[in-house]
Amino acid sequence: MSRLNKKFHQLTAEDKKAFIPFIMAGFPNIKYSSNLLHKLPGLGADIIEIGMPFTDPMADGKIIQDAGHEALEAGFKMENLYQMIESFRKIDQDTPIILMGYYNPIHKFGSEIFVKKVKSLGVDGLIIVDLPPEEDSELCIFCLNHKLHFIRLLTPTSDNQRLPTLLDNSSGFLYYVSVAGVTGSKVPVKQVVADEISRIKKYTDLPICVGFGIKSPEDAKSISLSADGVVVGSAIIETVQKGASEREVSDFISSLSKSVHSN
């Protein structure tokens, strides 16, 4: 059983939902993001999603775009991400790590080489925003061959006709984008999300985690009532951008995890 499957199995047994915080590698600098990564399990993170900075992040709103650009301007290189994960895995062998990003840097590196590299470091899955199922031969198949989860994004426009194609080769969990738009742009409507999750679950047994637009512990709690997990990214990044102290950032993340786990 993979680390990710084991985590969802454990949470189900405990009647809990997954709290999945998103951080941007290298934001606001390498040291800060590495220190925050190490803190996350103690703050209640069940799974950790790490963004890979990219120059043209089309699915991201201004908050995460700015974080990625700031990381790149501060000198971020992929080697820094590898070192972050390697350091984390020396002290934590249990918390799943998901990388989220875009295909261009992976293509330049070499898809199979990249998959082997991150798998060897202890990465558990990839979310690649700009690769549809029609392009599975570019990356997804390498992930399957090397037992790295390939996690699909589903959106409000993923109708029943499209779902079987999206579910093919998906594993780990499904990431449901709760609003039509970029990250951090709107607040999801609880009942609409619940109805969509119910619809999708008729087609799959995979856990469904919801992200985009979840801004507060109250939002996180309401979405967790119907989802198997809750992803919070922009709200965490924005807290850092506004100059919050490391203690304030930690307290905010902890409040999110408590809300998700309180059902």
| Residue 156 confidence (pLDDT) | 87
Domain span holding position 93: 3-261
The CATH number of residue 48's host domain is 3.20.20.70
Please give the Cα distance from 157 to 96 (Å, whole number).
29
| Residue 68 confidence (pLDDT) | 94
Catalytic residue among 60, 70, 196, 228: 60
Please give the Cα distance from 114 to 168 (Å, whole number).
22
Please report the sign of the dihedral spanned by the C-alpha atoms of residue 110, residue 135, residue 96, residue 31: positive
Catalytic residue among 46, 49, 70, 196: 49
What the block records as the tokens of 213 is 């637009």
pTM confidence score:
0.95
Domain count for the chain, please give it. Answer: 1
Given pLDDT bands bounded at 50, 70 and 90, which one contains residue 186?
low
Neighbours of 248 (CB within 10 A): 13
Please report the sign of the dihedral spanned by the C-alpha atoms of residue 226, residue 232, residue 234, residue 235: positive
Determine whether 60 is an active site residue: yes
| Residue 206 confidence (pLDDT) | 97
For residue 41, whether the previous peptide bond is cis, meaning omega lies within 30 degrees of 0, is no
Q: Are 104 and 54 in contact (CB under 8 A)?
A: yes
Determine whether 70 is an active site residue: no
pLDDT tens sequence across 172-182: 999 999 875 44
How many residues in total does the chain contain? 263
Query: Terminus-to-terminus CA distance in the chain, angstroms?
Result: 26
